[in-house]
Structure 1
Amino acid sequence: MSIDAAEYRHRREQIMAKIGQGTAVFRSAPMVVMHNDVEYPFRQDSDFFYLTGFNEPEAVAVLAPHHDEHRFILFVQPKDPEKETWTGYRVGIEQAKERYGADEAYPITEFNEKFPQYIQKAEQIYYHLGRDEGFNQTILQHWQRFIMTYPRRGTGPLALVDSNSLIHPLRQVKSAAELELMRRATSISAEAHNRARHFAKPGMYEYQVQAEIEHTFRLQGGMGPAYPSIVASGPNACILHYTENNRQMQDGDLLLIDAGCAFDYYNGDITRTFPVNGQFNKYQQAIYELVLAAQMKAIAEVQPGKAYNEFHDIAVCVLVQGLIDLGLLQGDLEELIKEEKYKPFYMHRTGHWLGLDVHDVGIYQPSPEQWHVLQPGNILTVEPGLYIAPDIKPAEGQPEVPPEWRGIGVRIEDDVLVTEQGHDILTADVPKAIADL
């Protein structure tokens, strides 16, 4: 289950059709040091991987459709048996051409020497100024040299354009092969959540539940967590990105688990909240039912042709009306939403794109007056929540929160594919109805 060479080639062809007389440059991810000389496991840059499938550091991909001989060029680390003994096998120069379809491949050390031939006839350089400051400077220096000599030569790139505008719209719409990988990532994620729900008991520690979740990810062939797993019991559920996972769960706690599996670089992202002892108290149940109602209404808005913001807006409307009904907010519904008086309880948006990155690429709002229109192949999360922190401070003019509500945090999140007919909930195998919990 993976992307084949023909699809990678098709992706590159789409980019080259867009750039015409331009040259596009994509840089691999760097190795990141964990501490001293110990490195984190390598994770390739998503754009670079999307176009090449090449999974090594110290590499550059160049797309030059106007070049007479080479349209797709790879710069990679050459074979080095001594270094490979320590750090693993390298593809090398020749195999980079054969296995990845490059027209030409060079050692990465020859980039500065070889790159100018691929931009000397280009009208623009397409490159995203990313986190690799050293390579950013390399590209800027090549560009500046051509600008300085343009009056004499009459050729060369006069503009540097962000490559994100080329590749991110493509990544936003998933292919059939990508959907298979997403279904596998979300299926493993769902299995891990179901295992965790049956495993968790009062007296256990959050990290023990985390271990069961991440054990399932690897056992089923996943790469591991798509992001640091959140296993938040009791008041910890009111911390959005809580990752310490070291509290002992108490009888009467809710447990919020936000965890997803990475499978071949594609990611699941699920959140469920349930009582550790199997029984909600009436305050917990009221908040849970409200969040679930908001999520169900929001998911119904995920349809082709709908504006991206519509599912968020309906979720906010349901949550705010529910808070009014519970006496936790006071006032007119529309005014409370307009003035964002609900923000102490609900401070994030209701979803994000999902794919090669957990918070995947793609524009949400092309202009202040316009939102992205959902189309088949888009995948997004739908994740409303309510967080009543122990020390919550209500918005100005709003009532104090009674102690029985404090410390309750609930979020419910599913991964939803936009289809031709409507939507498909990829994570539906994880129960969320109260009767099922």
Structure 2
Amino acid sequence: MKFSLKSDPVLTIFFGIILFTTFAVIPADAQHSWNTSTEKEERPLFTKHFSQAEFSERRNKVYDQIGNDSFAILQGAPMPMGFQFFRQNNEFYYLSGIESPYAYLILDGPDRVATVYLQDRNERREYGEGKVLSYQDADLVKDLSGIDAVKHIDDLKPDIEALNEDRGYSNVFTHLSPYENLGVTRSIANRTLNDRQNDPFDERPGRHQEFIEHLEKLTTTLEMQNLDPITDEMRKIKSAAEIELITKSSDLQGHAIMESIRSTKPGIKAYEMEAIARYIYWKNGVEGEGYYALTHIGPDAYMNHYHGSERSARDGDMILMDYGPVYDYYTSDMARMWPANGTFNPVQRELYSFYLEFYEAILYNIEIGRTPEEIMRKTLNEFENVFADMEFSKEIYRQAAEEFIVSYQQRLNPNMGLGHGVGLAVHDVGDYSTPIEPGMVFVIEPQFRVPEENIYLRLEDMIVVTEDGVEVITDFVPRDIDGIEALMAEEGMLQRFDFTLE
């Protein structure tokens, strides 16, 4: 079919208006140059989310803790192997904000001076991949970060040796645990290192351990001290700027899960839901994922960290999704469950209702000043009468519910936690058995199982504590049955845009 503007005066006027308005708003330069943008690069060289004062305050807390006879030294992340973006480790970033590979940081206790050691500029790499802060940018590094001094990496060993010979120093502090990074928590790093020991041809101790061994040889007159307990407790209490980033991550995760719920129909696969989440995450500028997607269909959920499923959801299956992004170093962790066909059947309704009642009883008892033990004891006391009136369609369900409650009763002790912290890592560091206080960010994640039928239930929500009280910042994502079913009745992304390559 052909059409001609000459044959249709209405179309002639219509397209004429479009052409006029289009070129009318384009700057003259844009019509006579290859690009309108003339800046060579717009990628920021330093974070916009934290002030110099905040990084300085963190370092001051370290100075206070290590004392006047000590210094601390931190090792930054190396360049990753392969076509991967460089990403600073959490420990180094938290105290400096500097994102240069192979960097080191010395915090001098007596003088309260922070010195960063950087490599030379790699001009060829910068030409092809963009600028990275280097030793040649010393003044710029100080201006951007507030770091007191910038020195060449070749000065690091002589400076450590000089500190070792100075009789005013008694201790050297460093992180003794493996470093965290994108998708790498301390526990996962330790697990990987333990697995490596089973390889008879791989005797590498881990980069952090190699650094510790070198440091011990250079500081023979000093006592090696663990910096982890100091920074772990600092990281447990988040600043307003940190909470803002965590909230952004949580908002994205909540909307990703809601869109996955809307898009669910029998036949959907885990990777389709994960594709929805990834689109929402990367569309909004995340740097990556906090952990691999835990998208469980049917009995997959019983293996609570199962991932990579390829099964299709059947009519009557339950789905669990737990998959969080990282937004400028800070992550989120939440989970929801829903029926593949959009309606809870009687068994699903029965067990989910029991679980949700207990779950929300914990949530609503979290208050500033209470310890996890006090919160859980109060929850169990209140739930006792509620549980007595509950009816179950099978004896194995009642037994499983009773064992679930008893397991919490048996765990009551002053050292217990409600869940785990969330921040720079999805399983963040710090002691969460202490009384609830402003700045804490954590989740609860009770896990209920019926082994005889491979049934597993888990929800998670992000809980932020401020001076104003306790807020569940993922409350906007429905977890009640009516809310979930209503959400599933809405049209989802896969229905609006379904691209399948045949």
1:302–1:418 Cα contact (<8 Å) kept: no
My pick for the range that moved more, 9-18 or 249-258, is 9-18
Q: CA deviation at 1:254?
A: 0.7
Partner of 1:291: 355
Partner of 1:117: 162
Q: Residue 80 in 1 paired to residue 148 in 2?
A: no
2:174 to 127, 143, 151: 127
Q: Residue 353 in 1 paired to residue 421 in 2?
A: yes
SS of 2:372 mapped into structure 1: coil
Q: Residue 29 in 1 paired to residue 77 in 2?
A: yes
Distance in 2, matches of 1:66 and 1:341, equals 48
Distance in 1, matches of 2:88 and 2:404, equals 46
> Counterpart of 1:116 in structure 2: which amino acid?
E
My pick for the range that moved more, 114-123 or 412-421, is 114-123
1:431 to 478, 481, 486: 478
Higher helix proportion: 2
SS of 1:177 mapped into structure 2: helix
Q: Residue 374 in 1 paired to residue 419 in 2?
A: no
Change (3 A) 1:323 1:208: farther
1:103 to 132, 136, 148: 148
Gaps of 5+ in 1: 148-156, 343-347, 365-370, 393-400
SS of 1:432 mapped into structure 2: coil
Identity %: 26
Change (3 A) 1:182 1:322: farther
Change (3 A) 1:282 1:163: same
Change (3 A) 1:411 1:163: same
Matches within 5 A, 1:12-27: 12-21=59-68, 22-27=70-75
Matches within 5 A, 1:324-343: 326=392, 327-328=395-396, 330=399, 337=406
1:45 to 85, 89, 112: 89
Q: Residue 62 in 1 paired to residue 110 in 2?
A: no
Matches within 5 A, 1:32-431: 32-33=80-81, 38=82, 40-67=84-111, 71-85=113-127, 88-93=130-135, 94=138, 95-119=140-164, 120=166, 121-131=168-178, 132-144=208-220, 147=221, 157=222, 159-311=223-375, 326=392, 327-328=395-396, 330=399, 337=406, 351-364=419-432, 371-388=433-450, 392=451, 401=452, 406-431=453-478
Q: Once the two structures are superposed, what CA deviation does each residue of 1:268-298 show, in whole Å capped at 9, x if it has no partner?
A: 1110000111111111111211221121111
Change (3 A) 1:244 1:137: same
SS of 2:98 mapped into structure 1: coil
Give the paired residue count: 393
> Counterpart of 1:362 in structure 2: which amino acid?
G
SS of 1:129 mapped into structure 2: coil
> Counterpart of 2:424 in structure 1: which amino acid?
L
Q: CA deviation at 1:316?
A: 7.3
2:72–2:106 Cα contact (<8 Å) kept: yes
1:295–1:315 Cα contact (<8 Å) kept: no
Distance in 1, matches of 2:402 and 2:268, equals 41
Superposed CA RMSD in Å reads 2.9
Partner of 2:17: none
Q: CA deviation at 1:140?
A: 1.1
Distance in 2, matches of 1:227 and 1:168, equals 20
Distance in 2, matches of 1:240 and 1:377, equals 29
1:270–1:413 Cα contact (<8 Å) kept: yes
2:365–2:379 Cα contact (<8 Å) kept: no
Partner of 1:154: none
Distance in 2, matches of 1:178 and 1:338, equals 34
Gaps of 5+ in 2: 1-47, 179-207, 485-502
Q: CA deviation at 1:218?
A: 0.9
Distance in 2, matches of 1:312 and 1:30, equals 43
Partner of 1:395: none
Change (3 A) 1:87 1:112: farther
2:332–2:462 Cα contact (<8 Å) kept: yes
Distance in 2, matches of 1:363 and 1:168, equals 8
1:130–1:136 Cα contact (<8 Å) kept: no
Distance in 2, matches of 1:256 and 1:210, equals 12
Q: CA deviation at 1:137?
A: 1.3
Change (3 A) 1:331 1:163: closer
Distance in 2, matches of 1:76 and 1:361, equals 28
